[in-house]
Amino acid sequence: MSGSLDAYLILAGLLFAIGSFGFLARRNAISMLMSIELMLNAVNLSIVAFGAFGTDAAMAAQGSVVALMVIAVAAAEATVGLAIVIAIYRNKRTPLVDEYDAMSQ
Amino acid sequence: MVMHRLVPIILGLAVIGVVTAVAAAMLVFLGQNWADALFWIFAAVMIGSGLMVVTMRDIIRCGLAMIVCFGALAGIYVILGATLLAAAQVIVYIGAISVLILFAIMLTQTKDAPSRLVFQTQAVPAAIASIVIAIIIALAVVATDWGEAAQRFRITADALSKVLFESYVLPFEVISVLLLAAVIGGVYLAKREPGGPS
């Protein structure tokens, strides 16, 4: 089972669906960021699986390189996202996104 | 007092380790090879802890479950043959991003923050939508012939570095600039203004 591409892709799809549920349903801004990290990891898993089951060893290395870059971009995204959450928390005193309603007033 | 709180966590980790080891041994005993057994166990741990991340009430525990999820994903990378990527996953995600998220939790959660309502009001449509996403992805994966190679290719570190520093050297440099910009932007956003609200 671990020797087929389908198993990895279905696993990645499951993790992506879990992350999307967390992003849509949680109230806490940091929980939403954690769900985004889950989704990014799911995409990474699919990239690495596609590379590892590719035509030759160079394609496998390319899949790993792209996944490394996704990890780096995810780190940058987490930094800026958490800084934004902390900045909003300093003004609104709550981490819950459904109370961020300054633009509707 | 600290030990009093740490003992259940350590016991829980020990129980998880023993259970997974016994499960791996049983799967191997039942006729599967080690790669399959480890794949099943890592997949189960990853999906289970991922569900815990999105459903648990206490957000600190969500963060800890996220660490478990990333660790299981690193194990799956090792099964796929991408060992260097597994090391990067452990260093960046478990070592850096998880600590960043735990610090942000520490800075933003107040005692009176209502923890009784974890989900938004539209949690049920969100659950339906994500289940539909999972089903659609699974159907698409099963229905497509990917033309995959019969054997997997292990990714050695020197092959990876050749690709990274020959074909992908421009994205590499751009990402270094992006990380610098993210660091400066993060510091700028999170620092408190002089005279502003504390």
Q: What is the pLDDT of residues A39-60, one digit of tens each?
A: 999 999 999 999 888 888 888 8
pLDDT band at B145 (very low <50, low <70, confident <90, very high): confident
Which residues, other chains included, contact B56 with Cβ-Cβ below 8 Å and sequence gap of 6+? B62, B65, B118
**Which pLDDT value is given to residue B185?**
93
pLDDT band at A67 (very low <50, low <70, confident <90, very high): very high
Shortest CA gap A29–chain B (Å):
10
In a domain, B178, yes or no: yes
- A 10 A CB-CB count for A76 gives 18
In a domain, A104, yes or no: no
In a domain, B182, yes or no: yes
Selecting from B66, B108, B152 the residue whose C-beta is nearest the C-beta of A34 gives B66
Same domain, B96 and B160: no
- The boundaries of the domain holding residue B182 are 156-198
Residue ranges of A 38-97 with Cβ closer than 8 A to chain B: 38, 41, 44-45, 48-65, 67-69, 71-80, 82-87, 89-91, 93-96
Are A69 and B175 in contact by the 8 Å Cβ rule? The answer is yes
In a domain, A64, yes or no: yes
- ipTM, two decimals, is 0.91
**Which pLDDT value is given to residue A40?**
95
Which of chain A's residues have a Cβ under 8 Å away from the Cβ of B97? 37, 74-75, 78
- Whole-model pTM? 0.87
Residue ranges of A 9-48 with Cβ closer than 8 A to chain B: 9-22, 24-31, 33-35, 37-38, 41, 44-45, 48
Q: How far apart are the first and last CA of chain B?
A: 32
**Which pLDDT value is given to residue B101?**
92
Give the separation between CA B24 and CA B100, rounded to whole angstroms.
Answer: 33
**Which pLDDT value is given to residue B89?**
93
Return the CATH number at B65. 1.20.120.1200
Shortest CA gap B93–chain A (Å):
8
Return the CATH number at A16. 1.10.287.3510
* Average pLDDT rounded to a whole number, residues B53-81: 91
**Which pLDDT value is given to residue B34?**
79
**Which pLDDT value is given to residue B29?**
77
Q: How many domains does chain A have?
A: 1
CB contacts < 8 A, A to B, total 268
Which of chain B's residues have a Cβ under 8 Å away from the Cβ of A67? 82, 85
Are B105 and B59 in contact by the 8 Å Cβ rule? The answer is yes
Which of chain A's residues have a Cβ under 8 Å away from the Cβ of B100? 78-79, 82
Which helix (H) or strand (E) covers residue B61, if one does?
helix B59-80
**Which pLDDT value is given to residue A43?**
95
